[in-house]
Amino acid sequence: MTDPQITLYRLQACPYCERVVRTLGEFGLEYRSRYVEPMHSERNVVKRVSGARSVPAIVDHETGVTMSESANIVEYLTGTYGAAAGETGTGEAAADGGV
C-alpha cells in the first residue's frame, strides 16, 4: 500500500480547509488529513512544515510543493492536476501567478 500523494493540514469545521477538500475530491487526488491543534500557538507541526500556523496547508509529496493559503492551494491544484493541466503543459501559469 502506498502513502497518499498529498498531506492536508486542516482543522475541523474550517471553511477554507473544506474548499481545499472539495478541490482535492474534484480532481480525484488521494490525500491524508492531519488535524492541527485548535489553539493557534500549539500548531508547531504545521508551522514546521509550511512556515505558518494557519490552515489549510498542503504538502504534495509528488512534486515537493508545500504551501498554505486556500486560494493559492486551489490555484496550484487546478494548474497542476485540473483538466487544463495536461493541455497547457505543466500549469506554469498558475505556479508563477500568471505574470
Ligand X SMILES: N[C@@H](CCC(=O)N[C@@H](CS)C(=O)NCC(=O)O)C(=O)O
Q: Are strands 6-10 and 57-60 parallel, antiparallel or unpaired?
A: antiparallel
Asked if 69 interacts with ligand X (CB under 6 A), we say: yes
- Count of residues that bind ligand X according to CB under 6 A: 11
Amino acid occupying residue 22 = R
Asked if 16 interacts with ligand X (CB under 6 A), we say: yes
Among 14, 24, 58, 94, binds ligand X (CB under 6 A): 14
Q: Which residues bind ligand X (CB under 6 A)?
A: 11, 14, 16, 40, 53-56, 69-71
